[in-house]
Amino acid sequence: MPVVEARAVTKVFRDFWRRPKVRAVDGISFEVRRGEVFGLLGPNGSGKSTTLKMILGLLHPTRGQLAVLGRSPREVRAKARVGYLPEESYLYPYLTPDETLDFYGRLFDLNAQERKQRTAQLLEMLGLQHARHRTVGEFSKGMARRIGLAQALINDPDLVVLDEPTSGLDPLGCRQVKDLILTLAKRGKTILVSSHQLADVEDVCDRVAILYSGRIQAMGSVQSLLEDTHQCRVTFPDLPAASMARLLAAFRDALGTEPGIEHPRRDLEQFFLDVVEKARRAGGESSGAAPTQGVAAYLKTPARPEDALQQLLPQAAAAPAGAPPTATPEAQAAALREADEKLQQLLKPGSGT
Amino acid sequence: MRSVWAIALLSLRTAVRSRVVIGLLSILVLGVIGIPLTVKSDGTLAGYVQILVRYTLGFAMGVLLLATVWAGCAAVASEIQRKQIHLLVTKPVSGAQLWLGKWLGLVILNTLVLAVCALVTYGLLRWNTRAGQLNAADAQKLAGEIMVARARVPPAPFAVEQRVKERFAELQQRGELPTNMPPTAIYQALFTAAQVETHTVAPGGKITWRFALPAACERAPAFQLRYNLAAALQAPLNIRGRWVVRRERGGEACEIAADHPAQGQHSLTVPGTALAGEGALLVEYANVNQEGLSLLFDTQTGLTMLVPVGGWLSNYLRALLISDCLLALVAALSITAGSLFSLPVAAFVVFQLLIMFSTAGMIHSLATREAGFVAALPDMVRTTGWLSEAVSGFYRGLEVLIMPMQNDDPLAMVATGEWIAWPVVAWTFAKQIVVTSGLLLLVAVAALRRRELALPTE
């Protein structure tokens, strides 16, 4: 069952006299599958925020069907498993981060101990533990955004809806949020991101839908949409001039034209992060958010038995996407068998999980 | 329930941090301290207690009502305006929980503030009437007549309807009904004339009232008769009369002579021990003036019997509970208005409704009198046309709408030592909290369910 399912969803905004004014979303259909990071891309006014708001029950579709976790988005039970970060941080400015997270934790019926633990872990994860007694109204936009993100995760949600998650964040904050999205995805959470920061979407999303004028213009995996199968790129270390000349001659013979050659550039984001990291090591201080501290422990703990498999495979979970396995095939097979056995134990009726 | 408390707590914090609410509460503090110091009473102890309890707490209630309207309307409306509600309604919180949380927060705030005002007022009252401040007579009067809770028992009304109907039929038969007056107005004039007739005591004449006492008042140690003479046909300095109080079933009678000016309110105390037996009391007034003077008792408040039935402090508590119920109802009304409209529109609507409700007593009186007159008219003239029917229907509808607000002023009652029974508190709670606030909750839930909270125009 898809986590989000939209079938021919249309949203028409009407004026005071109920006359149609704007068709913000026009018959879109898509599915967000469990455990994937799905991106809604589009320029301003393309309908992505309206779509998100319909998924959250804040707006009602004019036509079509929408289901979140198999229920109507307006059902209270569906909302218990959803976390939402809005485009702006609509927080109460007179509350401290502690009070804010405690308040939203109460809305999810978490007990006092759980709220306290999760608040501490989230603030540590987002580097805000030093500002926990300041009111949110005093925060910079980036810091308020982090609190917004923390409240979206307080309930350990199955579906995390992020509207422009990197808006207002500095490159360091952007990187941290993107890392967090990837970590949450590894943990088995489904993430729906709306953004017009194309690089951010490219970095984190498994699949994207590009909207324009309320309609889906393109949809698919990032890889399939961006791959140019008519060109190849070969990367190798810098070679001595003679070796390079031989290599170029071979390419020339094969292609019949002159190949393009250039030195690869680091991207600006990575360069910036390196500079900041050096400065930090040199002892520089900032009044903003501190460096993030991994992931909140409760977010690492599997909420459902079927998530246990991923947690029981530490090597696989720790390795970045595409990285070569560090364990031998025999060790991996043994670990998989062990994990499978543990999973079967967990899924047995009366196992208490 | 945890989410309801969370929203209630947040609602409290929001109200405490609102500049408007803080401004109003500051005025409240100044008023509660300043009014007893600046307003002069009539120099009597009763007057002082009235000032302190009725005006100081009445002022506090007025300010709290204003603060409640503002904070209640803002509770939902400003959250929608600032989009903070996006984070609330995307959590597992139903519309009813949201409304209840907001309402509970305001009710707690109002109760706390009202309790503080009431404590300060009571403290001031006790401090200013402490031992050594009053002479023995005043101290006795304070304990026995002012800081008491007495039930107000009206006499059985005089049966004048039959007489009025007969008179109306007689005039109609003779063709003497005025043609330039509607039948209800004629009936009303005849009714008033009949009432004046029954409340007038001719020289040497008598008038007798019957009081059916509630069970709680049967064994009272003393009864106080309070009466108003609307006018004397001639106005000498003093008028004289003789009151005789006895049980309906017989027994000893208590006789008291009265000699006082005609105007104003008068009272006399009848010791309960002087009246043997049980059952209804008959109170007779004999006009013994020598000057051929007719006396007219006020047709509405001519005679009332006051019977002490409880302590003043518990009466004070009941008055505060009724006042708190009113604040809770206004909070419910304001939150519901805030769920339907934007903040300024919601506040405007609530103030309009409150103005309408403040005339509840007058509308009720109009509705019941009009309905009573129409019902009492003979069949042949009862059909008064669609306009009269429509007006009458409008009044009856209005009466249903304003029913929840129909309360006697509990602070005025406690200030004058009038007993407020627990059933009155229970009835107020039932109609203002359970029924009316419950209906307002349903309206707000339906509105929140139907309303799209993230429209571009919100």
Segment A272-291 shows an average pLDDT of 67
pLDDT in tens, B412-457: 888 888 889 899 999 999 988 999 999 999 999 999 988 888 887 6
Average pLDDT taken over every residue of chain B: 83
What fold characterizes domain A4-226+285-296? Rossmann fold (3.40.50)
In the predicted structure, residue B140 carries a pLDDT above the cut 90: no
pLDDT of residue A298: 75
Burial class (CB in 10 A: 0-12, 13-18, 19+), A322: exposed
Number of H-type helices and E-type strands within chain A: 14, 9
Partners of A66 on chain B (C-beta within 8 Å) are none
The dihedral through the CA atoms of A61, A63, A68, A72 has a sign that is positive
Give the distance from residue B102's alpha carbon to the nearest chain A alpha carbon, in angstroms: 14
How many Å apart are CA B451 and CA B458, to the nearest integer? 10
Segment B240-267 shows an average pLDDT of 83
Contact A58 B90 (CB under 8 A): yes
Ordered by start, the domain boundaries in chain B are: 2-149+312-450, 161-310
Q: How confident is the model at residue B398 (pLDDT cuts 50, 70, 90)?
A: low
Instruction: Suggest the residue from A88, A107, A151, A153 to mutate for an interface test with chain B (most B CBs closer than 10 A).
Output: A107
Comparing A48-57, A203-212, B216-225, the range with the smallest average pLDDT is: B216-225
Segment B68-97 shows an average pLDDT of 91
How many Å apart are CA A331 and CA A340, to the nearest integer? 14
Q: Answer for the pair B304, B154: CB distance below 8 angstroms, yes or no.
A: yes
Instruction: State which of A130-144, A146-160, A310-324, B51-65 shows the largest mean pLDDT.
Output: A146-160
Give the distance from residue A95's alpha carbon to the nearest chain B alpha carbon, in angstroms: 9
The answer to whether B159 contacts chain A (CB < 8 Å) is no
Q: What is the pTM of this model?
A: 0.77
Segment A252-280 shows an average pLDDT of 78
How many Å apart are CA B308 and CA B271, to the nearest integer? 12
Between residues A87 and B231, the one the model is more confident about = A87
How many Å apart are CA B429 and CA B435, to the nearest integer? 9
pLDDT in tens, B294-347: 888 888 777 888 888 888 999 999 999 999 999 999 999 999 999 999 999 999
Please determine, looking at this structure, whether the domain spanning B161-310 carries the CATH number 2.60.120.
yes
Prediction ipTM score:
0.74
Between residues A112 and A342, the one the model is more confident about = A112
In the predicted structure, residue B254 carries a pLDDT above the cut 70: yes
Nearest residue, CB atoms, B89 vs list A58, A91, A155: A58
Give the distance from residue A27's alpha carbon to the nearest chain B alpha carbon, in angstroms: 19
Edge-to-edge order in the sheet of strand A63-68: A20-32, A4-14, A63-68
Average pLDDT taken over every residue of chain A: 81
How many Å apart are CA A50 and CA A24, to the nearest integer? 7
In the predicted structure, residue B33 carries a pLDDT above the cut 50: yes
Nearest residue, CB atoms, B90 vs list A13, A79, A91: A79
Nearest residue, CB atoms, B90 vs list A56, A77, A88: A56
Contact A57 B89 (CB under 8 A): yes
